[in-house]
């Protein structure tokens, strides 16, 4: 068994990590960290469990540690659900202490030597781990992208080989993306907020890196442009987005690409049966009905139309955050980086 921990285990993404790791077949969840206020309590008492999935009793008695290097030293992998301002230095320090960090934080995503990985899309980017290890320690940082980026690149991946350019994306993002307390009910109920701080820049920059090519030493950005417009809507979980791509392929060819798509690996525990699922009905996918497909790890696409326009939708705190990070860790293990 591989010993793992979660940094920031009481927040919205932290609880998802715990849910996914509590009975994981490869990973032994040993350490949960949180703020000073929670440290020393049993996780059961420290957390206000707010997922609809039941609380995993098996980890209820873990004593919560402070969020620092000492708490996780000796673990094989640590998953980070930290806010970016805390993550920046601490993730570096933890990796230097010899621990593999699989991070959902944005701090290091764009660092030159840090892989920004969606397993189905750019598993070869894990090669950057070797460059991080050149500095002589065993630890490293691997990041997953922003929740809206993951859904988009997962949906573009099966058709990237057709040649894509001039991508536009308008998102309709769920409330949970801002954490349990991030958005007040008075702000979003019966409303749309047409702005999510720095989200558009993240979607644009991260997508170019992820879909870029890696020659063993550097990543060259993907050769297309992206223009994003990001909006919050009153939905609990599930980011929906309208995507336009310029391509010479026909709608029917693209549909077949989606229908025939297979992930480039099998056997990872968190991997869904279908990483990308094409809907043929004209009114799908829909977040409430489709976000839990593949236990929240399937990205759904539909309405492939002339233009070319289509809809993509994915669960933002599972496929778009904690599940993404856990799948990265499984890929890291299966590729023997650990």
Q: Which of 1, 63, 110, 236 binds its own copies (CB under 8 A)?
A: 236
> Taking contact as CB under 8 A, which single stretch among the options 22-30, 70-78, 146-154, 187-195 is the one that binds its own copies?
187-195
User: Which secondary-structure segment (H or E) carries 241?
Assistant: strand 239-246
Q: Is 311 in the site for its own copies (CB under 8 A)?
A: yes
Relative to beta strand 100-103, strand 140-143 is parallel
Active site residue 147: yes
Q: Is 274 in the site for its own copies (CB under 8 A)?
A: no
- Binding to its own copies by CB under 8 A, coded x per residue (else -) over 81-120, reads ----------------------------------------
Nearest Cα to Cα of residue 119 among 231, 276, 250, 1? 276
CB 79 within 8 A of CB 325: yes
Give the Cα separation of 238 and 243 in Å (integer). 16
Active site residue 239: yes
- Please report how close the Cβ of residue 193 comes to its own copies at its closest, in angstroms: 6
Q: Which of 6, 12, 21, 62 binds its own copies (CB under 8 A)?
A: 12
Nearest Cα to Cα of residue 142 among 331, 297, 271? 331
> Residue 42 has what DSSP assignment?
B
Q: Which of 109, 202, 291, 319 binds its own copies (CB under 8 A)?
A: 291
Give the Cα separation of 75 and 334 in Å (integer). 18
Residue in 102, 108, 147, 315 annotated catalytic: 147
Please say which residue, 16 or 291, places its beta carbon nearer to its own copies.
291
Q: Is 265 in the site for its own copies (CB under 8 A)?
A: no
Tell me the number of residues near its own copies by CB under 8 A.
Answer: 55
Q: Which residues bind its own copies (CB under 8 A)?
A: 12, 50, 52-54, 168, 170, 172, 175-176, 179-195, 227, 229, 231, 233-236, 238, 240, 242, 244, 282-289, 291-293, 302-303, 307, 309, 311, 313
């Amino acid at each position: 068994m591989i010993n793992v921990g979660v940094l920031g285990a009481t927040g919205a993404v932290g609880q998802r990590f715990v849910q996914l790791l509590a009975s994981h077949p490869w990973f032994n969840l040993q350490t949960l960290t949180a703020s000073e206020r929670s440290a020393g309590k049993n996780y059961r008492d420290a957390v206000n469990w707010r997922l609809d999935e039941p609380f995993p009793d098996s980890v209820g008695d873990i004593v919560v540690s402070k969020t620092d290097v000492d708490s996780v030293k000796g673990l094989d992998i640590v998953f980070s659900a930290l806010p970016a301002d805390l993550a920046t230095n601490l993730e570096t320090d933890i990796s230097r202490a010899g621990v593999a960090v699989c991070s959902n934080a944005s701090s290091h995503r764009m660092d030159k030597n840090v892989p920004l990985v969606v397993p189905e899309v750019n598993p070869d980017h894990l090669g950057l781990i070797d460059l991080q290890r050149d500095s002589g320690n065993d630890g490293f940082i691997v990041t997953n992208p922003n929740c809206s980026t993951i859904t988009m690149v997962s949906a573009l991946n099966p058709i990237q080989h057709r040649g894509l350019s001039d991508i536009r994306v308008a998102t309709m993002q769920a409330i949970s993306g801002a954490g349990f307390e991030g958005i007040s009910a008075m702000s979003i109920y019966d409303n749309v907020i047409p702005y999510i701080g720095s989200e558009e820049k993240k979607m644009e920059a991260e997508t170019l890196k992820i879909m870029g090519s890696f020659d063993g030493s550097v990543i060259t950005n993907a050769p297309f442009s992206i223009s994003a417009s990001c909006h919050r809507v009153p939905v609990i979980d599930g980011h929906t987005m309208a995507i336009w791509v310029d391509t010479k392929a026909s709608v029917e060819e693209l549909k077949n690409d989606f229908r025939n798509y297979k992930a480039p690996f099998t056997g990872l525990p968190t991997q869904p049966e279908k990483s990308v699922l094409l809907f043929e009905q004209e009114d799908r996918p829909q977040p409430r009905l489709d976000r839990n497909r593949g236990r929240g790890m399937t990205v759904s696409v539909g309405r492939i139309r002339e233009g070319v326009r289509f809809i993509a939708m994915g669960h933002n705190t599972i496929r778009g955050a904690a599940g993404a990070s856990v799948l990265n860790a499984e890929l890291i293990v299966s590729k023997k980086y650990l």
